Amino acid sequence: MQRIPEAELMNEEQQACAYAHADFAAPHDHFIELFQEKFPDLEINDTVLDLGCGPADISRRFAEAYPQCHIHGVDGASAMLNYGQQLNEQANLGDRIKLIEAMLPGASLPQNFYHVIISNSLLHHLHDPFVLWNTLQQHAKPFASIFVMDLMRPESKEKARQLTQQYAVNEPKVLQEDFYHSLCAAFTPEEVQQQLDEMAMHSLKIETVSDRHMIIYGQLA
């Protein structure tokens, strides 16, 4: 199946509300577990950059896992960030997670460089995947720890529908359709490897971690 790009921003109120209140505990806890597995000895006591943070569920889980860190969460969708700010305050994390409305590339950030940069489910939204890789290179300190998790495109639309039925059948209709379109818009590991090769980001590794997810991680030399 050829890639079918989707909208880069998820800024409709219905979408934002559904995502903010959906149960992403399993995949988002898996994100944290995989990060800790790949960087087992990493102590984080400064600021982490979270690209494409949405309603900041990953940011909150990361802040809880690493209580000495602060987080700058970046997203272009104001509706998502509005819910994220509310939920951050409810979790008493408003002083540790700063949410920034900005589009990539060229976002104006509170600091220029970061030791840790994370991103979940941003890559498949980007019409140009090099926006993410260029942003990582622009804002990573030498040997920064990079951890990106994203969907993988299945071999057919039928397989995408099957995965949607398997993993989103109990979610609102808007989430089911978004998940299907995201699968169709995702890249394959082979395509991501080509992107990394073109950027000479040879220190990053790609690993398939489920039937629908891959991670891209390492220290960016």
Question: What is the sign of the dihedral through the CA atoms of 36, 76, 25 and 3?
Answer: negative
Residue pLDDT, tens place only, 82-138: 999 999 999 999 999 999 999 999 889 999 999 999 999 999 999 999 999 999 999
Residue pLDDT, tens place only, 149-208: 999 999 999 999 999 999 988 888 988 999 999 999 999 999 999 999 999 999 999 999
Predicted confidence (pLDDT) at residue 29 exceeds the cutoff of 90: yes
CATH 3.40.50.150 for domain 13-220, yes or no, is yes
Starting from the edge strand earliest in sequence, which strands make up the sheet with 70-75, in order? 97-101, 70-75, 47-51, 114-120, 140-151, 213-220, 205-208
Q: Which of 106, 107, 88, 105 is nearest to 97 (CA)?
A: 88
pLDDT band at 10 (very low <50, low <70, confident <90, very high): low
Phi-psi category of residue 13: left, alpha or beta, with phi > 0 → left and psi -120 to 50 → alpha: alpha
Provide the token pair at 130: 């090099």
What is the spatial distance between Cα 87 and Cα 94, in angstroms, rounded to a whole number?
9
Q: Which of 161, 169, 171, 151 is nearest to 211 (CA)?
A: 151
Predicted confidence (pLDDT) at residue 23 exceeds the cutoff of 90: no
**In the chain, what are the domain boundaries?**
13-220
DSSP assignment of 67-111 equals TT-EEEEEES-HHHHHHHHHHHHHTT-TTTEEEEE--SSS---SS
